Amino acid sequence: MPTIDDIARELGISSATVSRALNGSRLVSVEVRQKVEGAAQKLGYEKRQIRRHRGRAILSVKLVLPRHAEPERALFYDFAALIEGLRRGFTLCGLNLLCEVNSWDFEPYPHKKGGDIDAFVFAFQRPSQQALRSLREHGTPFVILNRSIPGLPCVGSDHAGGMLDLLDHLRSKMADIRPRFVSIEGIGQVHEERLDGFEQACRRRGITFDRSKDAVVFPDISSIQTAGVAAAAKGANALVCVNDIVGTVILSELDRLGIDVPSQMAVTGFDDSPVRRLSRPLLTTVSLPVEELARYAATRLQAEIIENEAPAALLRVAGHLIPGESTP
User: What is the DSSP track for 284-325?
Assistant: BEEB--HHHHHHHHHHHHHHHHHS-PPPP--EEE---EE--S
User: 236-287 pLDDT, tens per residue?
Assistant: 999 999 999 999 999 999 999 999 999 999 999 999 998 999 999 999 999 9
- pLDDT in the model for residue 115: 58
Burial class (CB in 10 A: 0-12, 13-18, 19+), 285: buried
User: 291-328 pLDDT, tens per residue?
Assistant: 999 999 999 999 888 877 878 889 999 999 999 999 99
- pLDDT in the model for residue 106: 87
User: 72-103 pLDDT, tens per residue?
Assistant: 666 667 889 999 999 999 998 889 999 998 88
Instruction: Give the C-alpha separation, 214 to 220, whole Å.
Output: 18
Q: Give CA 127 to chain center in angstroms.
A: 12
Radius of gyration of the chain measured on its C-alpha atoms: 24
* Mean pLDDT within 45-71: 69
pTM over 0.95: no
Nearest to 202 by CA among 235, 156, 170, 243: 170
What domains, with CATH codes, occur in the chain?
4-41+52-157+292-318 (3.40.50.2300), 159-286 (3.40.50.2300)
Give the single-character DSSP code of 108. Answer: S
Percent of the residues in the chain that have a pLDDT greater than 70, as a whole number? 91
Helix then strand then coil, in percent of the chain rounded to 5, is 45, 15, 40
Instruction: Give the C-alpha separation, 99 to 102, whole Å.
Output: 10
- pLDDT in the model for residue 53: 44
Percent of the residues in the chain that have a pLDDT greater than 90, as a whole number? 61
pLDDT band for position 52 (50/70/90)? very low
pLDDT band for position 161 (50/70/90)? very high
Q: How many residues does the chain have?
A: 328
User: 184-197 pLDDT, tens per residue?
Assistant: 998 889 999 999 99
Q: Are 85 and 298 in contact (CB under 8 A)?
A: yes
* Mean pLDDT within 208-226: 97
Nearest to 93 by CA among 292, 305, 310: 305
Helices 4-11, 30-43: axis angle to 10 degrees equals 120
Nearest to 157 by CA among 59, 278, 260, 292: 292
Q: What strands lie across the sheet with 119-123, from one edge to the other?
A: 94-101, 58-65, 119-123, 142-145, 154-157, 315-317
